Chain A
Amino acid sequence: DTGVSQDPRHKITKRGQNVTFRCDPISEHNRLYWYRQTLGQGPEFLTYFQNEAQLEKSRLLSDRFSAERPKGSFSTLEIQRTEQGDSAMYLCASSLWGSRGENTEAFFGQGTRLTVV
């Protein structure tokens, strides 16, 4: 257990439905990352937060995707109008970014496996 938890672990949804995933990072970590991983591939960056601020969004994050981290603690990733191509593992990671620019290693959650049917 890395200390990063994701919920749910698995989600099956019909095409066109909306889904929301939650990530609880390690409590003192101020950076939180979302990645998407398809079978046989490495994780692809989606977005990351420093505290509650969303600092970067990948072009992979279409307008159907939205992520929030309202209080700088847990984060949610919502996918609207899901498509079959959204089927993947969605990974969350957290790290501690220091005031001098040093960054601890990123710890990953177990992921949420999304299947769109």
Chain B
Amino acid sequence: KNQVEQSPQSLIILEGKNCTLQCNYTVSPFSNLRWYKQDTGRGPVSLTIMTFSENTKSNGRYTATLDADTKQSSLHITASQLSDSASYICVVISFGNEKLTFGTGTRLTIIP
């Protein structure tokens, strides 16, 4: 069964600190992996898209990594801001039917 698992489930850090969120998946065949940010009560918004050949991709303070061999991805947030408080969802897209399989997300809370 295609699955996407994320850890930790929730995380609380001080403003200005860095953090790393993890995503492990079993989805096959693999097309690409995306990290979404979802504010409470709103729809998810894309942060990064990682294809099979990409190992690292940055978007401002967000850096995503992908290891397609071990089927793991991480999202690193540097110099966290209060506005980073949200759920971060890892989504893996299957090759062929382009079906999206969602992880359960990591709930990140930044405290001042």
A interface with B by C-beta (< 8 Å): 2, 4, 6, 31, 33, 35, 40-45, 56, 89, 91, 93, 95, 97, 101, 103, 105-111, 113
Contact = CB atoms under 8 A, between A and B. Distances in A.
16 contacts: A2-B43, A31-B98, A33-B100, A40-B104, A41-B104, A42-B4, A42-B102, A42-B103, A42-B104, A43-B89, A43-B102, A44-B102, A45-B100, A101-B96, A108-B43, A110-B42
Interface of B: 4, 31, 34, 36, 41-46, 49, 89, 93, 96-105, 107
Contacts of A33: 100
Given A56-B99, A97-B98, A103-B98, A42 B42 contact: no
Contacts, number: 56
A2 B42 CA distance: 11
Contacts of B101: 45
A42 B43 contact: no
B43 A4 contact: yes
A110 B43 contact: yes
A108 B102 contact: no
Contact of A103 (B41, B46, B93, B107): B93
B49 A109 contact: no
Given A103-B93, A108-B43, A45 B99 contact: yes
A108 B44 contact: yes
Contacts of A97: 98
Contact of B105 (A42, A45, A95): A42
A31 B25 CA distance: 24
B43 to A, nearest CB: 4
Contacts of A113: 41
Contacts of A103: 31, 93, 98
Contact of A111 (B43, B102, B105): B43
